[in-house]
């Protein structure tokens, strides 16, 4: 079979000593970043991205993907040991992970989380392997009209499914898109939005600057606010007997873990959904289908397994549209996409044709990353217990220094460092006022593609707007986009008519 041959070639790349070491380093770094309360995969990737210049582009992406992966495993560690989710994606893991730790079963909870993450990760990587090539083939037929429609669709998922305030979501999408137009107009080549001829804006605003600002500086300010006192770490020991016991118990949770994996994978593909809602949904399903739903929230091992399979599966799922279509499925994959563009690798169907070594190397590295993550995760549990005792003030100081230097390094302009500070403070305030940040980052990354595809289509069709609905694929995407956009309105209307129906009866 074709896919297997390609995958085998990929393993030849990813199992090379250099790449194997990169995966191990990335996964270990990701595990620690994920385990730190407040820092998740997106913060890890944003802060580490400027440091990856040290390795060649294809290895850099494997490194970042490994960090992404490790952080997904690591998120569970602080959920269990501190009762604080290590990242928003591990919120659902605290529901049962924390009670288990309080009952002295912290070790078992961590085993459950690691094994569940492994199962979720592996099933979703297999799904990824199966879907990647066909989806990329389909995407080959995409012209600019389809690209525009698809980006539009990505944004409307935030409006329809994001769950945040709709007006505030649209504000953030528009802000990101407007910031992406700063620099030189891509059709006429004239400078625009350079704010009184400031030279620093001629090259545009890098996604990295916004990401380090929002997810580095902004996150630190947020952490300062939320972590006034050092939390208490629950000690966890791990014996081989516990490990055997944990594996035996996990063996009975195949149904929960399979549901979590499939759910996570498909929910993760949607830009607005992703790992957090997927893990909450998986938890909900596990609870409702359980024979003893009342034991959930009191330390049921199934309540740890379900969200952990789902959030790992979702992180793989969100890589699929990024790699095949060039549309990221989450803020973290948006950063990976930005990084790839920076290194001259343009994600999308052509990548599968032009750089098959790289694509399949990356996909196969997800398999190795999974094995590395579960082994390192279990082996390093004592180290996590120690690392989590690190005071926030030390962690935050280090992150801020990395933000300053890491922001300076790619462009070597102080202009970018100032922007990082500005975006960080503004992002912190906006987040506090319930403005969602994920659409902002996605919009900045996708903005150039959206504008280019929109204007290319219109130039090709002599300004005929019908071009977007005359092609069947793009018409379908636009129809779904309109549906997502109208979804909140339909909900409001149904809620109102529902109320109207009830109130006369009262």
Q: Which residues bind another protein (CB under 8 A)?
A: 51, 53-54, 165, 167-168, 170-171, 174-175, 177-178, 181, 185, 187-188, 190, 192-195, 217, 220-221, 224-225, 228, 391, 393-394, 396-398, 400-401, 404-405, 408-409, 412, 414, 417-418, 421, 424-425, 428-430, 432-433, 435, 451, 454-455, 457-464
Nearer to another protein, 368 or 453 (CB): 453
Q: Which is nearer to another protein, 9 or 461 (CB)?
A: 461
User: In angstroms, what is the minimal distance from the CB of 67 to another protein?
Assistant: 17
Element (H, E) at 435: none
**H or E segment and range at residue 391:** none
Sign of dihedral through CA atoms 143, 145, 147, 150?
Answer: negative
**What is the total residue count of the chain?**
506
Q: Rank residues 181 and 355 by Cβ distance to another protein and give the closer one.
A: 181
Residues near 32 by beta carbon (within 8 Å), at least 6 away in sequence: 70, 74, 384, 387
Residue closer to another protein, measured from CB, 69 or 148: 148
348: left (phi over 0), alpha (psi -120 to 50) or beta: left
Distance separating alpha carbons of residues 218 and 227, to the nearest angstrom = 14
Terminal Cα distance for the chain, rounded: 65
Which CB, 236 or 446, lies closer to another protein? 446
Q: How far is the CB of 30 from another protein (least distance, A)?
A: 19
Q: Which C-beta is closer to another protein: that of 144 or that of 303?
A: 144
Nearer to another protein, 298 or 491 (CB): 491
Segment holding 183, helix H or strand E: strand 183-184
In angstroms, the CA 348 to CA 266 distance is 19
Number of H helices, E strands in the chain: 24, 2
Check if the beta carbon of residue 144 is closer than 8 Å to that of residue 457. Answer: yes
- Smallest distance, Å, CB 196 to another protein? 8
Token look-up 């403005």 returns: 435
Separation between Cα atoms, residue 314 and residue 288, nearest integer Å: 21
If DSSP codes are grouped into helix, strand and coil, which group holds residue 411? coil
CB of 189 to another protein, least distance (A): 9
CB of 397 to another protein, least distance (A): 4
Confirm if 286 and 260 have CB atoms less than 8 A apart: yes
Minimum CB separation from another protein for residue 485, in Å?
A: 13
CB of 11 to another protein, least distance (A): 29
51 vs 238, which CB is nearer to another protein? Answer: 51
Residue 277: CB minimum distance to another protein, A: 23
């Amino acid at each position: 079979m074709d896919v297997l041959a390609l995958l085998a070639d990929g393993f030849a790349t990813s199992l090379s000593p250099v790449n194997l070491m990169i995966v191990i380093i990335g996964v270990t770094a990701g595990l620690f970043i994920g385990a730190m309360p407040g820092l998740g995969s997106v913060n890890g990737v944003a802060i580490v991205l400027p440091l990856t210049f040290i390795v060649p582009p294809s290895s850099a992406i494997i490194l970042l993907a490994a960090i992404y992966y490790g952080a997904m495993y690591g998120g569970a560690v602080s959920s269990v040991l501190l009762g604080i989710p290590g990242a928003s994606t591990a919120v659902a893991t605290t529901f049962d992970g924390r009670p288990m730790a309080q009952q002295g079963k912290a070790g078992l909870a961590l085993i459950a989380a690691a094994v569940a993450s492994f199962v979720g990760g592996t099933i979703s990587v297999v799904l990824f392997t199966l879907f990647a090539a066909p989806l990329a083939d389909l995407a080959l037929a995409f012209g600019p009209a389809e690209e525009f429609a698809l980006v539009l669709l990505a944004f409307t998922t935030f409006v329809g499914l994001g769950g945040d305030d709709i007006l505030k979501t649209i504000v953030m999408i528009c802000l990101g898109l407007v910031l992406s137009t700063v620099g030189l107009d891509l059709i006429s080549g004239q400078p625009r939005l350079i704010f009184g001829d400031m030279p620093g804006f001629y090259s545009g605003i890098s996604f990295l600057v916004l990401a380090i600002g929002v997810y580095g500086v902004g996150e630190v300010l947020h952490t300062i606010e939320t972590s006034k006192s050092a939390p208490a770490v629950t000690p966890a020991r791990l014996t081989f007997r516990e490990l055997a016991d944990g594996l035996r118990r996990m063996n009975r949770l195949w149904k929960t873990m399979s549901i979590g994996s499939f759910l996570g994978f498909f929910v993760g593909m949607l830009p607005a959904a992703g790992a957090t809602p997927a893990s909450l949904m998986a938890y909900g399903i596990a609870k409702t289908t359980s024979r003893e739903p009342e034991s959930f929230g009191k330390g049921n091992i199934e309540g740890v397994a379900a969200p952990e399979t789902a959030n790992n599966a979702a992180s793989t799922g969100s890589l699929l549209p990024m790699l095949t279509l060039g549309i990221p499925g989450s803020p973290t994959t948006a950063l990976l996409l930005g990084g790839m563009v920076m290194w001259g690798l343009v994600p999308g169907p052509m990548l599968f044709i032009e750089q098959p070594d790289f694509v399949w190397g990356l996909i196969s590295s997800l398999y190795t990353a999974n094995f590395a993550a579960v082994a390192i995760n279990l082996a390093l549990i004592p180290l996590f217990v120690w690392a989590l005792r690190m005071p926030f003030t030390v962690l935050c100081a280090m992150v801020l220094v990395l933000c300053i230097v890491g922001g300076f390094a790619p462009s070597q302009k102080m202009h970018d460092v100032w922007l990082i500070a500005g975006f960080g403070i503004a992002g912190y305030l906006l987040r506090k006022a319930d403005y969602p940040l994920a659409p902002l980052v996605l919009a900045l990354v996708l903005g150039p593609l959206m504008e280019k595809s929109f204007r290319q289509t219109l130039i090709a069709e002599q300004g005929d707007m019908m071009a977007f609905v005359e092609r069947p694929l793009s018409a379908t995407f636009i129809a779904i986009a309109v549906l997502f956009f109208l979804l909140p309105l339909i909900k409001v209307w149904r809620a109102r008519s529902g109320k109207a129906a009830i109130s006369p009866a009262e």
